[in-house]
Structure 1
Amino acid sequence: MLLIKDLTKSFDGRRIIDQLNLEIQDGEILTIVGPSGGGKTTLLRCLAGLETIDSGELIIDGTKFDPVEMDNADQVVGIVFQDFQLFPHLSVLENITLAPMLSLKQTKEASVTEALDLLAKFGLSDKENLYPYQLSGGQKQRVALARALAMKPKILGYDEPTSALDPELRQQVEEVILTLKAQGMTQIVVTHDMTFAENIADNILTVTPVQ
C-alpha cells in the first residue's frame, strides 16, 4: 500500500499541491483527472523522485521512503511518460535493457531475455532491432511501458497514456492496463480522458488548481 501524507509542492512560490493525503491499495488502479495546472503530472514526478517535495511523507508498505534518494534498484514508482522519452540512437531492445544492466546490475543475457519476454507480451516480438523513429505512436508507447516494467517498480505511473491516440489504440492501452492489474500491478494513471478513466479505475481522484 502507498500512503501519501500532507504532500505539498510549490514552484516559484506558487503552490501546486497543497497537503495532499492519499491511500492507494495494492493492485488498485487510481486515475487522476482534472484541468491543467492541478498538479497531476507533478504528483507523478514527485512519487518517482524526479521532483523533490516541499513537505509531507511518502510511505510504502509501512516504511517511509524518499524517492529522490533511493537507489534505482529499489524503485517504487516507474513512469511511462507522455512523450515516451525513448533514446533515439538505441534500438528497441537496447532501450529496454540499458537501465536494468546499469542500475539493477543484471547481466546482459538476463536483461535481453526479460526484454524479449516483455516485447512478446506487448505484441512487439519482431521489433527489437528497430529504432524509435521506425515505430508508430502506439508501438513507442508499448516499448516505453516494457522499459518501465523492466525496472521492476512496485507501482507503475502513466502520464496521459491515451493522448493523441485513436480509439482502437486507446482500447489497446485499456487492455494492457487491465491485464497488468490482473497480474497484481498497482497503477496510477494521469489523464484528461474521463471515459478512459472510468473504464479502468478502481478510484478516481479529481484535482483542481490551488487557489
Structure 2
Amino acid sequence: MLKLENITKSFDGKTILDNLNLEVKDNSILSIVGPSGAGKTTLLRCIAGLEKVDSGQFILNNQPFDPSDESAKERVVGVVFQDFNLFPHLSVTENIALAPQMVLKQNKATIQKNVTDLLNQLGLSGVKDQYPFELSGGQKQRVAIARALAMQPQILCYDEPTSALDPSLRDTVADLILDLKKTGITQIVITHDPDFAKKIADQLLEVKPINN
C-alpha cells in the first residue's frame, strides 16, 4: 500500500498541494480528476519522484519512501507520459529494451524474453521493428506502457492517457488499464474525463484549486 501523509507542494509561493493525505491500496486503480490548475499533474509528478515535495512523507508497504531518490524508485514507480516521450530514432523493441539494459543492467537473454512477453501482452508483436513515426497514437501509447512495465514497477502512473487519442479509443484504453490490473500492478491515472475515471477506478480522488 502507498500512503501519502500531509503532502504539501508550492511553486513560486502558490500552494498547489496542501497537507494532502491519501491511501492507494495494492492492485487497485486510483483515478485523480479535477479542473486544470487543481494540481493533478503536480501530484502525479510528486508520486513519481519528478518533483520533490516541500513537506510530508510517502510510505510504501509500511516503510518510509522517497520517490525522488533515484536509487529507490527504479522498480517502484513507472510513468506513462501524456505525449509518450518515445525515442524517435529507436524501434519499438529498442525503446522497450533500453532502460532494462542501461539502468537495471539485465542480461541480453532476460531483456529479450521480457520484451517479447510485453509485446505479446500488449498486442505489439506486429510492430516490434517499426519506429514511433510509423505508429498510430494508440500504438505509441501501448509502447510507452510496455517501456514503463519493462522496469518492473510496483506502481504505474498515467498522465491524461486519453487526451492524445481519438475519443473512439477511450474504451480501448480503459480495457487495457483494467487488463493490467489482473497482473497485480497498482495504477494511478490522472484524467480530465470523469466518465473514463469512473469506468476504471476502484478509488476516485477529486482535486480542486486552492485559493491562495
Q: Shorter-normalised TM-score: what interval? A: over 0.9
Amino acid in the other structure paired with 1:152: Q
Distance in 2 between residues matched to 1:3 and 1:154, nearest whole Å: 14
Amino acid in the other structure paired with 2:183: Q
Which residue of 1 is the match for residue 38 of structure 2?
38
Distance in 2 between residues matched to 1:22 and 1:70, nearest whole Å: 23
Distance in 2 between residues matched to 1:4 and 1:170, nearest whole Å: 29
Amino acid in the other structure paired with 1:39: G
RMSD: 1.2
Local SS of the residue matching 1:126: helix
Task: Indicate the percent of aligned positions where both proteins have the same amino acid.
Answer: 60
Local SS of the residue matching 1:115: helix
Which residue of 1 is the match for residue 91 of structure 2?
91
Which moves more between the two structures, 190-199 or 175-184?
175-184
Which residue of 2 is the match for residue 188 of structure 1?
188
Runs of 4+ in 1 over 4 A off after TM superposition: none
Which residue of 2 is the match for residue 160 of structure 1?
160
Local SS of the residue matching 2:23: strand
Residues 72, 104 of structure 1: 8 Å contact kept: no
Q: Which structure 2 residue ranges, 5 or more long, are not aligned?
A: none
How far is 1:73 from its partner? Answer: 6.6
Distance in 2 between residues matched to 1:15 and 1:110, nearest whole Å: 45
Amino acid in the other structure paired with 2:120: A
Local SS of the residue matching 1:71: helix
Query: Structure 1 residues 147, 184: CA separation in 2 closer, same or farther (over 3 Å shift)?
Result: same
The TM-score, its normalising length taken from structure 1, stands at 0.96
The TM-score, its normalising length taken from structure 2, stands at 0.96
Distance in 2 between residues matched to 1:40 and 1:76, nearest whole Å: 20
Residues 33, 205 of structure 1: 8 Å contact kept: yes
Distance in 2 between residues matched to 1:38 and 1:13, nearest whole Å: 15
Residues 58, 65 of structure 2: 8 Å contact kept: yes
Cα deviation per residue 1:135-160 (whole Å; 9 max; x = unaligned)? Answer: 01000000000000000111111000
Q: Which structure 1 residue ranges, 5 or more long, are not aligned?
A: none
Q: What pairs with 1:86-165 in structure 2 (closer than 5 Å)?
A: 86-165=86-165
Local SS of the residue matching 2:127: coil
Distance in 1 between residues matched to 2:73 and 2:107, nearest whole Å: 14
How far is 1:180 from its partner? Answer: 1.2
